[in-house]
Structure 1
Amino acid sequence: MSREIIKTDQAPQAIGTYSQAVKVGTTVYMSGQIALDPQTMTMVDGNTENEIRRVLDNLQAVARAAGGSLDDVVKLNVFLVDLANFSLVNEIMSEYFQEPYPARAAIGVASLPRNANVEMDAILELGA
């Protein structure tokens, strides 16, 4: 099965030894996104709500580069420094995702790169 590296300048460039996403067959494995602005590579100003929106915008950009959209997400992982923001994630996700929603895990973590409050990664299925 062929493997394709997905890359776009509409999402932050990798800040380590990884690709933005890897497509194998019709499945796309998207790397974790934090709230980096793709043009400046700096964290967005503001609060956790702004971070969540930037993270989802970044995931959306990578999904588009892979030939899909957030509608193709079958699994989403959400990493939160403060699980008190779980309801905020749900609220904002409802603006980006439609039913049927993807499978999801929400995990509390001690810290994230660049002092981010949220990170998300996803798996897309383009063959459906």
Structure 2
Amino acid sequence: MKRTISISDAPAAVGAYSQATTNGDLVLTAGQLPLTPDGELLDDASVGDQTKRCLENVEAILVSEGGSLDDVLKTTVFLDDIDDFEEFNEVYSEFFDEEPPARSAVEVGNVPKGAAIEIEAIAATE
């Protein structure tokens, strides 16, 4: 059965969506922007710093469900400029240094709120 996840250690959902959902076996996060838990957008920060914040948000959601980034099976990364891939990948690799998840990374026309990146994840909790 589906259950929505809402925690204070990640930015609140700002629309008709949840921070994440779970069925008890999988956690699927919404796309995480470089927003602090207080809602501050890091849109002027480097792509590396924005990547770090996005992944910290994903991690906070997983930790709230008793998991960690080690449980991530797949991520999808949306970049507003694919030329930022190298900087993004350098920071991303620090979070997933061993047995990284499957990943798709694509350039999109725009990322919400003018951010440079958005990251969503699917993780196994059982």
CA contact (8 A) 1:72 1:124 kept: yes
Structure 1 runs of 4+ off > 3 angstroms?
none
User: How high is the TM-score relative to the length of structure 2?
Assistant: 0.94
Which residue of the partner structure matches residue 67 of structure 2? 68
Q: For residue 87 of structure 1, report the CA deviation from its aligned partner.
A: 1.2
Task: Show structure 2 runs of 5+ residues with no match.
Answer: none
Q: For residue 92 of structure 1, report the CA deviation from its aligned partner.
A: 0.7
Instruction: Give the alignment of 1:105-116 within 5 angstroms.
Output: 105-116=104-115
Give the Cα separation in 1 of the matches to 2:95 and 2:24.
Answer: 25
CA contact (8 A) 1:73 1:123 kept: yes
CA contact (8 A) 2:31 2:119 kept: yes
CA contact (8 A) 1:74 1:125 kept: yes
User: How high is the TM-score relative to the length of structure 1?
Assistant: 0.92
Pairing partner for 1:42 from 40, 43, 60: 40
Give the Cα separation in 2 of the matches to 1:46 and 1:30.
Answer: 23
Q: For residue 56 of structure 1, report the CA deviation from its aligned partner.
A: 0.8
Q: Percent identity?
A: 39
Give the Cα separation in 1 of the matches to 2:66 and 2:5.
Answer: 10
How well do the aligned residues superpose, as a CA RMSD in angstroms?
A: 1.1
Which residue of the partner structure matches residue 79 of structure 2? 80
Give the Cα separation in 1 of the matches to 2:112 and 2:40.
Answer: 12
Which residue of the partner structure matches residue 103 of structure 2? 104
Which residue of the partner structure matches residue 92 of structure 1? 91
Which residue of the partner structure matches residue 17 of structure 1? 16
Q: For residue 97 of structure 1, report the CA deviation from its aligned partner.
A: 1.2
Counterpart AA for 1:113? P
